[in-house]
Amino acid sequence: MPGGRLQIRDVSKTFVARNKVTQALVPTSFDIEPGEFVSLVGPSGCGKSTLLYIVAGLEDCSGGEVLVNGVSVCDPGPDRGMVFQNYTLFPWLTVKENTRFPLTLAANALAYELSEAEVRTRLDRIAALIELMGLGDFEHAYPRELSGGMKQRVAIARALANEPAVLLMDEPFGALDAQTREEMQELVLLVRQHLQTTILFVTHDVDEAVFLSDRILVMTPRPGRVRADLRVNLASPRTVEGKLEPEFIRLKREIFGMLHEGRDTTGARDTLLRRMFSNEGAKSPQMTTDDHR
């Protein structure tokens, strides 16, 4: 399944709460070429997840439009698969049934006008996907019997079962431990190498973004906008050892620099901490009245 082209045209988002208008996302535009892996990184609350949800059609945008293969999309649809940060497997279905769920939806069968033979091919592909994900022995297990990493693998397989034009991933490994996360990253690279899917990936882990992406879009704090569009020139196939390459480290440093810009560097926090924890500070009258109440 070849990946699709994703175009973001002046997409913006404003929230209205208690008569106050907050701009979460200033009009943003960028293109993602078929088969490209693009990461969105930025400080938390910068609107990167909001942008992803707008692309998925789960959130309305206040302006602009999203195009998949040149067609404007508004509502959620099977052409944009999504892997969520939380575990969203259907607990009453087994691993196999979860990954086949998209095929049981009438809308999908109609939209693609799948013949019986095509459905068979799809089912075979799903079976291959389950194998590729290392879930072969767990086909008949229920989600509650799976570890966090395995749940996300099933979620990825389920999203890919639809053969979407674009795969959207919202900090999919945020809840996993460091080692599992690394395994999952390698798995994503493997899957992508086989399927050539276009992927838009949201993360706040710079390391993860550099390791996985062809391009990284760095966002500013709220109101969010894309401040840098960086190309990752690392040898493929990528390996964990590649994380020690000078180019990898250079990119990481560059992005870190952008993300940490504007942070408190005056040392005001240090002074405060020193006052709180030194004996001198404890004697100060304000501190004692507050703490011993």
> Given the rule CB under 8 A, which residues bind another protein?
56-58, 76-78, 80-82, 84, 86, 88, 90-92, 101-102, 104-108, 111, 142-144, 155, 158-159, 162, 168
Q: Choose between 100 and 181: whose C-beta lies nearer to another protein.
A: 100
Q: Choose between 43 and 81: whose C-beta lies nearer to another protein.
A: 81
Q: Choose between 167 and 206: whose C-beta lies nearer to another protein.
A: 167
CA distances, 10 to each of 113, 118, 216 (Å): 33, 38, 19
Name every residue whose Cβ is closer than 8 Å to that of residue 112 and which is 6 or more positions away in sequence: 118
Residue 54 near residue 60, CB atoms below 8 Å = yes
Residue 232 near residue 214, CB atoms below 8 Å = yes
CA distance 166 to 198: 5
Identity at 147, one-letter amino acid code? S
Q: Choose between 43 and 102: whose C-beta lies nearer to another protein.
A: 102
Minimum distance between the CB of residue 195 and another protein, rounded to whole angstroms?
A: 17
Residue 35 near residue 210, CB atoms below 8 Å = no
Beta bridge pairs of residue 224: 25
Which pair of tokens denotes residue 269? Answer: 């926090």
Q: Choose between 26 and 176: whose C-beta lies nearer to another protein.
A: 176
Minimum distance between the CB of residue 58 and another protein, rounded to whole angstroms?
A: 5
Minimum distance between the CB of residue 253 and another protein, rounded to whole angstroms?
A: 35
Q: Is the backbone peptide bond immediately before 285 cis, with ω within 30 degrees of 0? A: no
Cα distance from N-terminal residue to C-terminal residue, the chain = 66
Minimum distance between the CB of residue 187 and another protein, rounded to whole angstroms?
A: 20
Minimum distance between the CB of residue 103 and another protein, rounded to whole angstroms?
A: 10
Minimum distance between the CB of residue 162 and another protein, rounded to whole angstroms?
A: 6
Which pair of tokens denotes residue 265? Answer: 């560097």
Q: Choose between 46 and 155: whose C-beta lies nearer to another protein.
A: 155
Name every residue whose Cβ is closer than 8 Å to that of residue 1 and which is 6 or more positions away in sequence: 163, 195, 196, 197
Which pair of tokens denotes residue 248? Answer: 């990898």
Q: Choose between 76 and 223: whose C-beta lies nearer to another protein.
A: 76
Minimum distance between the CB of residue 23 and another protein, rounded to whole angstroms?
A: 24
CA distance 293 to 285: 13
